[in-house]
């Protein structure tokens, strides 16, 4: 039913296109610490870090497919604190609440063993609930929650 596929550089536009939908959704949680700028073209400004997913070995872009249809993406990286990090995570509405996000998260945790940090925007309570439940089930309730970045983010820490 679900497949997680690493995105090669020749296909990176798929990630860039999905990032537009993802950024639109995140814009609902904008606050003084996070803003999402839209260009006159109607496209959101993309982070300069996205391109690094095809330039640096410690970054891994994936797309999620459900029955061979595009369903979402995840950007995984190894961060400065020597932890795996879910940098960006998005599931199209059509594929939510059927296990797509849980599949994608669990697959990342299985492939990239070790310490993990997963951050959410403080206002994004739906994401916090998803990550809390997913990580709780994956770790058998062995994780820690902490407010970081001047209390602008809620982070989850655990080992896989």
Q: Coil, strand or helix: which one is 123?
A: coil
User: Closest by alpha carbon to 122, among 21, 9, 31, 55?
Assistant: 31
Contact yes or no for 92/24 (Cβ under 8 A): no
* pTM for this model (two decimals): 0.94
All structural domains of the chain, each given as residue ranges with its CATH number in brackets, are: 2-159 (3.40.630.30)
Q: Tell me: the pLDDT tens digits for 28-63?
A: 998 777 788 889 999 998 888 999 999 999 999 999
Question: How many residues appear in the chain?
Answer: 160
Tokens of residue 159, six digits: 């080992």
Contact yes or no for 144/156 (Cβ under 8 A): yes
Segment among 28-37, 56-65, 83-92, 143-152 with least mean pLDDT: 28-37
């Amino acid at each position: 039913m679900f497949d997680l596929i690493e995105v090669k550089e020749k296909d990176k536009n798929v990630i860039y296109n999905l990032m537009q939908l993802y950024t639109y959704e995140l814009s609902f949680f904008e606050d003084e610490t996070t803003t999402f700028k839209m260009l006159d073209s109607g496209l959101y400004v993309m982070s300069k870090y996205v391109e690094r997913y095809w330039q640096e070995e410690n970054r891994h872009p994936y797309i999620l497919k459900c029955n061979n249809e595009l369903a979402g993406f995840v950007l995984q990286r190894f961060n400065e604190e020597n932890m795996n990090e879910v940098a960006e995570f998005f599931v199209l509405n059509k594929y939510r609440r059927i296990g797509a996000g849980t599949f994608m998260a669990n697959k990342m945790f299985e492939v990239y063993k070790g310490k993990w940090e997963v951050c959410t925007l403080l206002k994004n309570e739906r994401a916090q609930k998803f990550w809390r439940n997913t990580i709780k089930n994956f770790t058998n309730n062995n994780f820690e929650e902490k407010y970081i970045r001047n209390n602008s983010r809620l982070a989850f820490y655990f080992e896989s």
